[in-house]
Structure 1
Amino acid sequence: MVKLTRIYTRTGDKGDTGLGDGSRVAKHDLRVEAFGTVDETNAVIGLAQLHAEGELHDVLARVQNDLFDVGADLCTPEQEAPKYPPLRVTAAQVESLESRIDAYNAELATLRSFILPGGTPLAAHLHLARTVTRRAERLVTALMIEQSVNPEVLRYLNRLSDLLFVLARRANGNGDNDVLWVPGANR
């Protein structure tokens, strides 16, 4: 269990930060950008959760906890023989998202157009979380070119953006109140 007795350490005052394996990198390092954007995703989901109730609230709480797993995974570079076994995202976490996507999507109105981010406050926040998730996903793919990354992290983020899209539609009356894109409407 984590025990924080001090919030500031001063160790990053020169522009570097510690990773889960004890190594230090620049605060602008691609790995730090990736897990920092996962943290940003989590914060936006926290905003969405303010507007959610019941099952949707619980699903978002579970996702928030998973996102800490994603961040911990990204924060700890893969090693051949680590001193302590690192926390890694698992296929089961990805499969859980997939089953939720399938269940919620089955209840939605059929898509007939692209959807503009908006509608209810919950849907708007979920769309924002979806776009931040996509940015985290792009950063992870860039990181994967340079360094080894658990592939389940990328799979999780990819499915999470899909889940957030489906949940946004659910928050918009199961898609009945989605804000639809009208191509060329303002020409």
Structure 2
Amino acid sequence: MVKLNKIYTKTGDDGTTGLVSGPRRKKHDLRVEAYGTVDETNATVGMARVAAIGMTRIDTVLSRVQNDLFDLGADLATPGPDAEQYHEPLRITEPQVEWLERTIDKFNEELEPLRSFVLPAGTPLSAALHLARTVSRRAERRVAELIEAEPETSAIAMRYLNRLSDLLFVLGRIANGLGKNDVLWEPGRFTGKN
């Protein structure tokens, strides 16, 4: 268990931050940007949980996602091969990705097929889930860039974020009355072409 006695250390005042292992990195370093965007994703999932009050099924899933995202952040904050570590680092795992896939499939069975693209709207919970989805997509882009720059970065991290955005999309539809209240895109609606 982590124990934090002091919240500020002043060590980041020079524009660097410490990773779990390895040398300090600039705060704008690609790796820091990647796990920072995972942290943002986690915060937006937390906001969605606030909107999910009374929807235990969704809140339970989001609670698991928040814990997994913390694992993912720890993974990204621990560069290098595992063999060089003093202790086995926390890594995102394939079973966590598989859990997302099973959860997506379970919820998606309840939904009617889409007739159009869905706008990020509807209920407050659905809108919050769509916001979390877009931030998770940004995290995915940051991780893709990191993998290109530092190929030893976990490819499972990329798969996890890709599936997570799909899950958040499906949950957004669940939150819109099982998709019945989805707000659908109407191409050209306000251009005078219809």
Correspondent of 2:111 among 108, 113, 116: 108
Structure-2 residue corresponding to 1:161:
165
Q: Distance in 2 between matches of 1:146 and 1:44?
A: 27
Q: Distance in 2 between matches of 1:82 and 1:62?
A: 27
Query: Which string of whole-angstrom CA distances, capped at 9 and with x for unpartnered residues, describes residues 35-68 of structure 1?
Result: 0000000000111001112111111001000000
Structure-2 residue corresponding to 1:139:
142
**Partner amino acid, structure 2, of 1:45:** V
Correspondent of 1:57 among 59, 72, 81: 59
Could you say what secondary structure the match of 1:116 adopts? coil
Q: Give the 5 Å matches for 1:10-159.
A: 10-52=10-52, 53-79=55-81, 80-147=83-150, 148-159=152-163
Shift of the alpha carbon at 1:107?
A: 0.5
Query: Which string of whole-angstrom CA distances, capped at 9 and with x for unpartnered residues, describes residues 54-103 of structure 1?
Result: 11111100100000000000000022422211000110000000000001
Unmatched segments (≥5 aa) in structure 2: none
Q: Distance in 2 between matches of 1:155 and 1:27?
A: 25
Q: RMSD value over aligned CA atoms? A: 0.7
Could you say what secondary structure the match of 1:107 adopts? coil
Unmatched segments (≥5 aa) in structure 1: none
**Partner amino acid, structure 2, of 1:61:** S
How high is the sequence identity, in percent, across the aligned residues? 61
Asked if structure 1 preserves the Cα contact closer than 8 Å seen for 2:15 and 2:27, the reply is yes
Could you say what secondary structure the match of 2:14 adopts? coil
TM-score (norm 1): 0.98
Q: Distance in 1 between matches of 2:111 and 2:159?
A: 23
Could you say what secondary structure the match of 2:156 adopts? helix
The ranges of structure 1 where at least 4 consecutive aligned residues each deviate by more than 4 angstroms after the TM superposition are: none
**Partner amino acid, structure 2, of 1:30:** L
Asked if structure 1 preserves the Cα contact closer than 8 Å seen for 2:92 and 2:156, the reply is yes
